[in-house]
């Protein structure tokens, strides 16, 4: 653990011991709190379809009534990001069976997302956050990239789970397991 993380951890722990409200921090900023409304967003992106990828905006409210796996990642076409994206694609039918949608967010532009969706046969939306405004609201921004964090949002728009510094291999399975637990009341 580096010095900054150690100081942040000690500071947060001290506030908790003093009975003061704890603020969750990550390397990319302040994390949103669990069990409260997830930060809203509206971002341009790419939505793959049978006719090819189309450019469209997507907002948090577009996913109301279903679970949302909102994952932030550094760059299209990099090794870890490709592994993570393919994992979500592999498990996409299982997510859909659980009334969940998967959406990826990075600082890449929509042209890059179109190419990435095409080359990896991705069939879920990838959104573009070049200035990191949404990534910042989710504590996932260290310029010029979004950090590898994932957020699980329930059908009412409430943030239910957070994964930080994700390891791409097997991450999709980890989220599926937690989603099943939450849906079972756990």
Q: Give the start-to-end residue ranges of the domains of the chain.
A: 1-26, 31-183
Topology classification of domain 31-183: Glutaredoxin (3.40.30)
The per-residue pLDDT for range 56-111, each reduced to its tens digit, is 999 999 999 999 999 999 999 999 999 999 999 999 999 999 999 999 999 999 99
> b/e string for 112-137 if b means 16 or more Cβ within 10 A?
bbbebbeeeebbbbbbbbeebebbbb
- Which of 114, 139, 118 has its CA nearest to residue 126? 114
pLDDT digits (tens, 9 = 90+) for 3-57: 433 333 433 433 333 343 334 445 677 899 999 999 999 999 999 887 777 889 9
- The rounded distance, in Å, linking the Cα atoms of 153 and 119 is 28
Q: What is the DSSP letter of 31?
A: P
For the entire predicted model, the pTM comes to 0.85
Q: Which residues are catalytic?
A: 81
What's the mean pLDDT when you consider all of the chain? Answer: 87
């Amino acid at each position: 653990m580096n010095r900054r993380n150690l100081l942040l951890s000690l500071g947060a722990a001290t506030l908790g011991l003093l009975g003061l409200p704890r603020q969750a921090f990550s390397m990319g900023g302040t994390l949103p709190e669990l069990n409260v409304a997830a930060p809203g967003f509206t971002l341009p992106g790419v939505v793959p379809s049978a006719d090819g990828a189309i450019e469209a905006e997507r907002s948090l409210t577009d996913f109301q009534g279903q679970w949302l796996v909102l994952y932030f990642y550094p760059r299209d076409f990099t090794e870890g990001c490709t592994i993570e994206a393919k994992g979500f694609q592999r498990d996409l039918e299982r997510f859909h069976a659980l009334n969940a949608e998967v959406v990826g967010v990075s600082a890449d532009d929509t042209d890059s997302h179109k190419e990435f969706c095409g080359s990896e046969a991705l069939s879920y939306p990838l959104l573009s956050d070049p200035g990191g405004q949404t990534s910042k609201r989710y504590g996932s921004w260290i310029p010029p990239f979004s950090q590898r964090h994932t957020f699980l949002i329930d059908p009412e728009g409430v943030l239910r789970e957070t994964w930080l510094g994700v390891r791409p291999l097997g991450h999709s399975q980890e989220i599926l397991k937690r989603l099943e637990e939450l849906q079972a009341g756990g």
